[in-house]
Structure 1
């Protein structure tokens, strides 16, 4: 664990100059706020401190997030939170919000329905009075009939407190609120010159033999009346509205604007006590429409009212489940059981998630600790994995990997030693090739050797036997790599020991090849052999003597024609007493002697066709007048172009000799 000061020092080293400036501004802003300094400069400094604080908070959140999510355990916890907890909380919040909306709408419905039920009641009473009026005998006076009809209101004192029944011969109010030609109206009515201003009213025309009359039933909307409606709700208040033409409109209805005036509050109404801790009240708002009659007789047919109340969800639930009858308890028990099962499933899911998280993070922590041992060079540490799962297999694979690292290091050391040996062999082989060209009048020699591997199996040599004699040799050793290079070194040593003896310029090339064959048979294994071609040219007599021991025939080009040099015998290193043959021919001026290895004629094109000796010879004839170096490069390029790729399957060697 790092100390506090080391952590503080590390955190300070990560701060940029912007962070330092913002920190200083925040400190100055706090100092100004604590000292209570007032003024434009201090206010501007406090504003800058707020902006700088927001910037530092964003920086801290980013730093904290990177540190928090570095650990796999914390990442898994965050994943579980977003996969399990956040959706559940979102669903719970959505359910609670939906429940509160539904409860609010249910409360508004109960309030609206109760008020309109009272309106329907007085409308029914008015209709009964009109019917009863027709049934009365004509001998009863008008005053007696009205007294008898008004006596019916006594049975509705509880639902319609202070119900008042009047009879009028003036139908103007009915015409204003119901419209011309209508015989009845029932609803909420506001009258500007009335006290109280709001009442439930029902108007119905009664046909009389003498003159039409209107029965008027009125229930004043007072605090006492509001206390009798919607008993499942808590406090109830009716907010009245009046026209408003100023700014700050509180309520609009259509194109009209209104503001709230002192309303009517129900008396002796309080919010019921909560039945449990989450039985929080909900707000109930129910808009109501009323007719408004001003002092001057004008009518507003849609003056809004806002009935505001509150309610306990438990009381509303009781109202909802009342209609379930005998099944009410069953539904409640079923709901509780489903909730318990849900909680149990959630608990099991959480427990499973925590256990799996601990297993995963413990396995990853063990693997991380093991990598630290490997980083320190300790390959003996092993991960203890008890799980029989993919993590356990991963730990086992890690143990197998660490156990083989030492072997891999040893193999790497061996490989490096082998590369060093190959490099040494390549240097030795480069020394076996002739470093200087012979100085023979009228002879120009050029050679190119491109190895397919680090060490080539092809060999060529130029040996000056006398001031006018030069030996030209080319060979292809069986195999590749170091073994071929060793056999090449042996062949080169034997060739030079024979060619550099006195009088060797007059030795038959067949005799020289026979001696080389015996040397290879006696000093190499049965599976080792070499193809070999040697030619000795005498510039004084322009005579060329040669022997071809199983090598691809070299050819002599002169004036557009070529002559294959194919006399000799079989490869070297197979039969000890084999007798070779010498070929001899006169060389015309400006002739071109070309020797090559099989790697130059065996490249294949995309159709599987080899480059071949004939195409090599044609390519040489086309450039026969060029310098030997250009001829050699041209032949190499022709073979590579035929293959279409610079990769080589075999060593490629070519010798070009100009005999002037």
Structure 2
């Protein structure tokens, strides 16, 4: 299967086309390959070539069947891709299709009504002739009956003077008469008026009026009977239906064609069913038409037909010929059975219109003018509706095209592109919405770039701040140290530091800046720099003091109980004094609302004494080796809020195994449904794991905090400093 797909892909790539994806497309491709492969086999001689020709023909049919949906899909994919073309097709289906169907229905109905009216007019003309013949026959019958009653034994009879106009050459040349008394024929003089009717048919009735078929010829005949003195007189008027007679009947109608000499089926002849006529348009000789189950050539039909009248030329383009077929009720003269003779009437709308309004031609002209005016008015309305539809369609397609062009511009990165909106509709609102979207996208991308820039700067700030914290493991021979800071955001406002003086003493600092984020981190860096500055300033003071007054240094060392240690002049020996100096510095250099909490301590390894001062910071704790807890609460208010606050300092002695716990409010203040984490839980975690290394204890505290917070965001910076006396 993979090789087949590869072959298809190579062929279509050679033709610069995409390989087929659908099953129909692939089957059509392989049918084409097979059809082309069979071309040489079709050239083989004999039965083999004929066999392959049939196979090729069958494959060609299958190929065409598979190509139909592909061509249909291609046409719709290309032609209906644009919304304009889809709307046009939609309008055609919704608007034009019902109109076309209605117009076709109206034209078919009008054609049928016109044909029926033409048939009605032709039948009325023939009936009028029948009535005229019937009236004359009735008068002649009365004349003959009375003449025979008053002239018994008369051998001939002649028409009365008032009927002499019917004599040959004076009236209807086809009119003939026949008279009978008690079934015996009475000759008519002159002999030219004598009808070729030897006897009265047995089925004859008084007042008979109908077209009859006698010896293959069509006649209009009327029968009247009159009984006088016990003798029954029968008079028959017969008029041959020929071109002259049909010319008179077709006057003002068009052309009438009667087909009398067609063989009739027994059912039709006996039951009087309508003749079924199927005629085609003019065709070559030999083409047959089916009439009453008999197939006849057009030559046979034309030879037996009687045609009268002429079809005038059309008065306008819509004055088309209207041909309609109808049966003419005909009686078989020999049997008296009725059947239908096919009759074809061809007329024009103009002739039928004139005949319809024959009694009021002036009104017909007015009606015609009104109809023309209404048609013109409707045409103007249709033109206006078409123009409105085109304009409406153009507004829709223009809006969609503008949206499409705008999406292309946005896709290419041109975010400043805007759609020009001049209307006030839903599509215009959509365009405005797109403009707002592109503006928002442009603004969001700008904000994203700014955010990325800030993130980069924050990453640098985080890296710089990480360098401010103590690097590497710091410890004294008699004291273990560990510190950790976990920012709530990228950078932290918490601060801790270890300041080593020599192998036996160090300074310890832990602070918390008000607020979070960048401003707190900047103030933290300021505080860090200030504390470090006082630390290095202390070293410089000690160095200068050693050079100029060794005696003073020894005195200072004796006063501070450092056994003459050179660190006796270090300002960190008095954390309260440093807090006061830092307070003045922050108060004068920062905004009024900015402040910090700070814990400073100095540890002397020789005496294991911790001198400290707490400036608003949560009091650190000493977890004694006997699990008792000492709180380091000596100090004062926060740093940087007031101008000249006072700070106290305290001294605690650390015993082996004692653990100093200094922490920010981010350790004890996180909450859940059970309240704050609290100082007691912190002490409990440290107490349970006090035998572990300090970094492991710190990790246990953080794990407990994470479990306490759960899935919530870390609310504040978390800083924890641990120190354990060896």
TM-score (norm 2): 0.62
The answer on whether the counterparts of 1:205 and 1:212 sit within 8 Å (CA) in structure 2 is: yes
Pick from 105, 109, 121: which aligns with 1:110?
121
Deviations 1:518-554 (A, max 9, x none): 4433544444322345678999999987655345667
- State how far apart, in whole Å, the 1-side matches of 2:29 and 2:490 are: 61
Residue 281 of structure 1, CA deviation? 1.6
* 1:485 counterpart = 2:485: no
Residues 83-94 of structure 1 aligned to structure 2 (within 5 Å): 93=104
Secondary structure, aligned partner of 1:575: coil
- State how far apart, in whole Å, the 2-side matches of 1:244 and 1:603 are: 111
- State how far apart, in whole Å, the 2-side matches of 1:124 and 1:544 are: 154
Residue 344 of structure 1, CA deviation? 4.5
Cα distance change on mapping 1:562 and 1:159 into 2, 3 Å: farther
Pick from 520, 528, 533: which aligns with 2:586?
520
Secondary structure, aligned partner of 1:286: strand
The answer on whether the counterparts of 1:187 and 1:200 sit within 8 Å (CA) in structure 2 is: yes
Deviations 1:443-496 (A, max 9, x none): 796856242x43333445577889899987654323443332222223234445
Give the superposed CA RMSD.
6.5
- State how far apart, in whole Å, the 1-side matches of 2:409 and 2:103 are: 48
The answer on whether the counterparts of 1:222 and 1:266 sit within 8 Å (CA) in structure 2 is: yes
Residue 426 of structure 1, CA deviation? 2.2
Name the structure 2 match of 1:449.
Answer: 486
Pick from 13, 18, 32: which aligns with 2:17?
13
Deviations 1:404-436 (A, max 9, x none): 999999887665443322221122233344555
- State how far apart, in whole Å, the 1-side matches of 2:492 and 2:313 are: 103
Cα distance change on mapping 1:154 and 1:591 into 2, 3 Å: farther
Name the structure 1 match of 2:642.
Answer: 575
Name the structure 1 match of 2:663.
Answer: 595
Cα distance change on mapping 1:506 and 1:403 into 2, 3 Å: closer
Name the structure 2 match of 1:653.
Answer: 718
Cα distance change on mapping 1:654 and 1:309 into 2, 3 Å: farther
Residues 10-409 of structure 1 aligned to structure 2 (within 5 Å): 12-14=16-18, 16=20, 39-49=50-60, 51-52=62-63, 59=70, 62-63=73-74, 66-68=77-79, 93=104, 95-116=106-127, 162=175, 186-187=209-210, 194-196=214-216, 199-200=219-220, 210=230, 221-231=241-251, 232-238=253-259, 240=262, 242-243=264-265, 251=276, 258-259=293-294, 264-288=304-328, 303-345=339-381
> Which structure 1 residue ranges, 5 or more long, are not aligned?
1-7, 606-610
Cα distance change on mapping 1:260 and 1:64 into 2, 3 Å: closer
- State how far apart, in whole Å, the 2-side matches of 1:460 and 1:186 are: 134
Deviations 1:175-219 (A, max 9, x none): 9799xxxx76655555xxx32365555667766764777766655
Secondary structure, aligned partner of 1:13: coil
- State how far apart, in whole Å, the 2-side matches of 1:562 and 1:143 are: 170
The answer on whether the counterparts of 2:119 and 2:326 sit within 8 Å (CA) in structure 1 is: yes
Answer with 1 or 2: which has the greater Rg: 2
* 1:629 counterpart = 2:699: yes
- State how far apart, in whole Å, the 1-side matches of 2:337 and 2:651 are: 137
- State how far apart, in whole Å, the 2-side matches of 1:50 and 1:518 are: 102
Name the structure 2 match of 1:639.
Answer: 709
- State how far apart, in whole Å, the 2-side matches of 1:539 and 1:141 are: 182
Cα distance change on mapping 1:176 and 1:466 into 2, 3 Å: farther
Residue 110 of structure 1, CA deviation? 2.7
- State how far apart, in whole Å, the 2-side matches of 1:499 and 1:89 are: 101
- State how far apart, in whole Å, the 1-side matches of 2:347 and 2:376 are: 27
The answer on whether the counterparts of 1:444 and 1:659 sit within 8 Å (CA) in structure 2 is: yes
Cα distance change on mapping 1:269 and 1:619 into 2, 3 Å: farther
Mean Cα displacement is larger for which, 578-587 or 359-368?
Answer: 359-368
Residue 275 of structure 1, CA deviation? 1.7
- State how far apart, in whole Å, the 1-side matches of 2:596 and 2:219 are: 129
- State how far apart, in whole Å, the 2-side matches of 1:103 and 1:595 are: 109
Secondary structure, aligned partner of 1:279: coil
Pick from 592, 597, 615: which aligns with 1:531?
597
The answer on whether the counterparts of 1:509 and 1:534 sit within 8 Å (CA) in structure 2 is: yes
Name the structure 2 match of 1:5.
Answer: none
Secondary structure, aligned partner of 2:490: coil
Deviations 1:607-646 (A, max 9, x none): xxxx854x545766886747653442332343355xxxx4
Residue 284 of structure 1, CA deviation? 0.9
Mean Cα displacement is larger for which, 542-551 or 146-155?
Answer: 146-155
The answer on whether the counterparts of 2:483 and 2:496 sit within 8 Å (CA) in structure 1 is: no
- State how far apart, in whole Å, the 2-side matches of 1:177 and 1:119 are: 17
- State how far apart, in whole Å, the 2-side matches of 1:321 and 1:389 are: 55
Residue 367 of structure 1, CA deviation? 9.7
TM-score (norm 1): 0.67
Secondary structure, aligned partner of 1:306: strand
